[in-house]
Amino acid sequence: MAETKISEYVTLVSNDGYEFKILRSAACVAGTIRKAMDPASGFKEAIESRMTFENLNGLVLEQVCLYLYYHQKHAEARDVPDPDVPQELLLELLMAAEYLQV
């Protein structure tokens, strides 16, 4: 359906209006984003390559994006250093991870 429109980047939008443009391949590490962006299903997100998260704020989403890149970067490496995550966001990140199925 949207085969031709597949762009290399997708835009992730937080509930407070921050937009993160990240590589599609990195974004698709998250199950929820992958499904939403699946061109075969043809949801609004897939057509627009843009996904808005009503329950994630900019801070959390930034961390999520960092992690997605971090994951992609170290996909094949061993003995990777743990990502540096701000303590105060841990709980929220945990819930985001569950939600996004990372």
The reply on whether position 95 binds other proteins by CB under 8 A is: yes
Q: Which of residues 26-55 bind other proteins (CB under 8 A)?
A: 31-32, 35-36, 38, 40-47, 51-55
The reply on whether position 73 binds other proteins by CB under 8 A is: no
The reply on whether position 97 binds other proteins by CB under 8 A is: no
Nearest distance, CB of residue 97 and other proteins, angstroms:
11
- What string of DSSP letters covers 22-78? EEHHHHTTSHHHHHHH-TTT--HHHHHTEEE-TT--HHHHHHHHHHHHHHHHTSS-S
Closest residue by Cα to residue 21 from 62, 56, 70: 62
Nearest distance, CB of residue 14 and other proteins, angstroms:
9
Nearest distance, CB of residue 89 and other proteins, angstroms:
9
The reply on whether position 96 binds other proteins by CB under 8 A is: yes
Is residue 83 within 8 Å of residue 66, measured between CB atoms? Answer: yes
